[in-house]
Structure 1
Amino acid sequence: MFKALRPRQNATNQFIHPFTQLADVEDDGPNVIVSGKGVTVTDRDGRELLDGFAGLWCVNIGYGRSELIEAAQQQMSKLPYASSFFGFANEPALQLAEELVRLTPESLQHVFFTLGGSDAIDTTLKTIRYFFNITGRPDKKHVIGLERGYHGVSSTGAGLTGLSGCHRFFDLPLPNQHHIPSHYRYRSSYGVTDAAIISGSVAALETKVAELGGSEKVAAFFCEPVQGSGGVIVPPDGWLAAMRIACAKLNILFVIDEVITGFGRTGQLFACDWEHVEPDLMTIAKGLTSGYSPMGAVLMSDEIYRALVDKVPRELPFANGFTYTGHPVSAAVALACLEIYERERLPENSKVVGAHLLKGLDALREHRWIGDVRGKGLLAAVELVANQESREPFDPRLNVGQLVRKKAYENGLIVRAFSDNVIGLAPPLIVGEADIDRMLDRLARAIHSAEAELHEI
């Protein structure tokens, strides 16, 4: 019945790694993680590592939590799968939708479940097109994001992402996808004061909308409350609210991408809560299940949902969805995760311990490579530069960020190296100050070790 077994080969090039220089993995092999507990993971060589990046910004409640394991096991025993097509539903998904509407901003009243962040963005883009088509505004097709923004890597979402590495050789961005400069204070094109950055961003959005033909042609503006994969770029206080007001005046939809920032990462359950911003649509994933099971979601306003119900011929279904939309096991895991966030007050811990993290990172400025320190809650980064005073970046060929990441791993710490030599930290939200101190010590040693290696070249 099965093919004859082929001789076992090196699996290095059989498993294709995302966001990885594939030639490096072929040369050196992958770092294989085999177990995790709390804020640490253990690799195949028995090395215990502090996970300073919560997997991929997602393992918020830490590894090995029995509550989530039991929730998944019980649901698998009762109902391991249920389709959401054709009007079917399952109890965990219905309950989760109700909980998410309760917890998110009041403007969001309806939930569409996905498998993660990228397809949540893709679903949002499709829904926006659908919404304007069925409401008699078919020319509203342009969407605007921020340079250095990240909105996944689906065939459409990757173009909205404002990172060139997600565009090259993929024929992106698409003709209807546009970007305005980031609120990137350290290398700002708007000025360095909060007022200048906010007014400059609003003016840039207004100008871009006008260039594209006005509100009759532009559908939406997308942003992250804190830019994640662009280098953990935190906007000035008031920026998010100002952009929301600008979108309302311009008559375009305001979409918040909380895939990274949601579920306590910045010190509030959702980052938009800091400024009481009410979006038209919001995407979530990652912390929804703490990475224990794949799941994401799009939350939308009642205005958009009512159009999907009332403006479409009765014989035409809303033809969007996935085999695993509203998966009962993932929904059960998410419900258990939400209970832990509330019971253990993890957003508050993120705020308190996050302040300790930023203070510790700020102390690293004594090292001549540290150009900028930034963050919000347990979402932080340091930007490495060749010269602190001039902010001169390193020669890209030196790959300084990747060298520091590798040295951190050797010192028992997992961090993220972004482009432009930015080192990111986003540990599990259960982390304590003692764990943070150990992370900071290992990061400092990694930077010194990287400097010594470069000095020898």
Structure 2
Amino acid sequence: MTDLGNSAASRDIAYHVHGYTNLKKHEEKGPLILTSGKGIRVTDDSGKTYIEGLAGLWCTSLGFNEDRLVDAATKAMRKLPYYHGFAHKTPDITIELAEKLISIAPVPMSKVLFANSGSEAIDLSIKLVWYYNNALGRPDKKKIISRIKAYHGVTVAAGSLTGLPIVQNDFDLPIDRVLRTDCPHHYRQAEDGESEEDYATRCAESLEKLIEDEGPDTVAAFYAEPVMGAGGVIVPPKTYFEKIQAVLKNYDVLLIADEVICGFGRTGNMWGSQTYGLKPDMLTCAKALSSAYIPISALMVSEDIYQAMVKESEKLGVFGHGSTYGGHPVAAAVAVETLKIYEERNIVDSVRSLSRNFQAGLRRFAGHPLVGEVRGVGLVGGIELVADKDAKTAFDPKSGVGAYFSDRAQDEGLIIRAIGDTIAVCPPLITVEDEIDEILGCLERALDATATWVQETA
């Protein structure tokens, strides 16, 4: 690596470990250092600007300079910079946020518990699945089903639910009592000539067989993202959730919706659960809850689950869960203001309108010789690159095609994310039509450059 002296890049390499990064390559390559942001753009330390085409990590819904959120945080910091929710105490603003979340939930919910990240919210939900069944006198009903390619976080429990090997390899995950069922990816998993509806039926039948094989009295919960994000922007096939939920209901298996990416307008409704007809018993949300300006997450639970919690905590003398920063007043204030902005600016309606041009523009790439499938909904999309379009043959993972595309997009001034060879695009919800066109133009140029490179290196 070139000697960087005492530059920010060299200090980063010396002191900072990056997530989801090849650490050896990072020692040679160093970081892209971002110094400021405005609207949907960020600026690096050389002064170059980029459209943030993944909204950071699927999260900066209101862009990078929303003054109302800065003001909300500042006022809250001056008023009450910290308080907790233990032993019958709470900041007043945390009550307001909990009430608001319950009022906009996709199905009737009873109570909210707060944490700091999507992973933590998932961990808490797992604890409550087990707590709930203990309260009902079902000590064996504890197994949890998630899906291949699911992403539910990286902590010990949440990382066990995640269906991506890289999250588990050499971390000694998953933990016990976690089961895996099919990834609902019609393009990759359907048989020749199998319709989306028939494939959904097969997924539901596979789930039912898994429950029967394990023993219905041992299976407690099923976790699902409405749209699978980090697994490759996988949109469920038609009738999928209708059929899955019928199986869950038949076997008294809880449904937990992971709305960490889909929540707050991303799919063209406030919740992905509304877009795809999920009726969850619990729901996790984070990311766009505060437009990622400050860490906060939430778990909403149904009345049945809450009453079981009441019963068990009465028996034990206390509900033995909580965290120092859960429901933090500054984070809660930012989240309350974020939700106000969504309503006042009709963000969900705007997403629905923008999605027409965005999705149509992405689908124009479907005819490109390098593109196997384009998929998406609302303001999230995925472009899957393939070595052979007709045979749907994937590139050798070592070829680095997705990473090459990502670098070329960055050269064009667009930051996106390559998930293997699927290009994920998820711009901030405040993006306007002209910026959608810019994003599509950058993607097209990066796609053509990648196709040329693939031909030259074949």
On whether the aligned pair clears a TM of 0.5, the verdict is yes
Q: How far does residue 13 in structure 1 lie from its aligned partner after superposition?
A: 3.8
What is the correspondence of 1:144-293 to structure 2 with a 5 Å cutoff?
144-189=145-190, 192-214=194-216, 216-293=217-294
Deviates more, 1:360-369 or 1:318-327: 360-369
Q: Residue 424 of structure 2: SS of its match in structure 1?
A: strand
Q: Residue 145 of structure 1: SS of its match in structure 2?
A: strand
Q: For structure 1, list consecutive stretches of 5 or more residues without a partner in the other structure.
A: 1-5
Residue by residue over 1:20-59, the C-alpha shift from the partner in whole angstroms, topping out at 9 and shown as x without a partner, is: 1111211111111111111111111111001110011001
Task: Pick closer, same or farther for the CA change 1:219–1:315 going to 2, 3 Å.
Answer: closer
Q: How far does residue 242 in structure 1 lie from its aligned partner after superposition?
A: 2.6
In the alignment, the residues of structure 1 paired with residue 260 and residue 49 of structure 2 have an alpha-carbon distance, to the nearest angstrom, of 28
Q: Residue 228 of structure 1: SS of its match in structure 2?
A: coil
Are 1:355 and 2:356 counterparts?
yes
In the alignment, the residues of structure 1 paired with residue 94 and residue 164 of structure 2 have an alpha-carbon distance, to the nearest angstrom, of 34
Q: For structure 2, list consecutive stretches of 5 or more residues without a partner in the other structure.
A: 1-5
Counterpart residue identity of residue 199, structure 1? T
| Alignment partner, residue 117 of structure 1 | 118
| Alignment partner, residue 395 of structure 1 | 396
In the alignment, the residues of structure 2 paired with residue 197 and residue 111 of structure 1 have an alpha-carbon distance, to the nearest angstrom, of 35
Q: Residue 262 of structure 1: SS of its match in structure 2?
A: coil
Deviates more, 1:104-113 or 1:75-84: 104-113
Answer whether contact 2:370 2:389 (CA < 8 A) is retained.
Answer: yes
Residue by residue over 1:200-228, the C-alpha shift from the partner in whole angstroms, topping out at 9 and shown as x without a partner, is: 121111111111112x1011001111111
Q: How far does residue 177 in structure 1 lie from its aligned partner after superposition?
A: 0.7
Counterpart residue identity of residue 261, structure 1? C
Answer whether contact 2:267 2:275 (CA < 8 A) is retained.
Answer: no
Are 1:444 and 2:448 counterparts?
no
RMSD of equivalent CA atoms:
1.7
Q: How far does residue 86 in structure 1 lie from its aligned partner after superposition?
A: 1.6
What is the correspondence of 1:81-160 to structure 2 with a 5 Å cutoff?
81-160=82-161
What is the correspondence of 1:52-91 to structure 2 with a 5 Å cutoff?
52-91=53-92
Q: How far does residue 364 in structure 1 lie from its aligned partner after superposition?
A: 1.8
Counterpart residue identity of residue 238, structure 2? D
Residue by residue over 1:267-314, the C-alpha shift from the partner in whole angstroms, topping out at 9 and shown as x without a partner, is: 000011124432101110001000001000110011111111123345
| Alignment partner, residue 3 of structure 2 | none
Q: Residue 313 of structure 2: SS of its match in structure 1?
A: coil
| Alignment partner, residue 35 of structure 1 | 36
In the alignment, the residues of structure 2 paired with residue 11 and residue 428 of structure 1 have an alpha-carbon distance, to the nearest angstrom, of 27
Q: Residue 87 of structure 1: SS of its match in structure 2?
A: coil
In the alignment, the residues of structure 2 paired with residue 197 and residue 116 of structure 1 have an alpha-carbon distance, to the nearest angstrom, of 34
Residue by residue over 1:359-412, the C-alpha shift from the partner in whole angstroms, topping out at 9 and shown as x without a partner, is: 111112342111100001001010000111111111111110011011111110
Answer whether contact 1:190 1:196 (CA < 8 A) is retained.
Answer: no
TM-score (norm 2): 0.95
Counterpart residue identity of residue 376, structure 1? V
| Alignment partner, residue 428 of structure 2 | 428
Counterpart residue identity of residue 214, structure 2? L
TM-score (norm 1): 0.95
In the alignment, the residues of structure 2 paired with residue 158 and residue 385 of structure 1 have an alpha-carbon distance, to the nearest angstrom, of 28
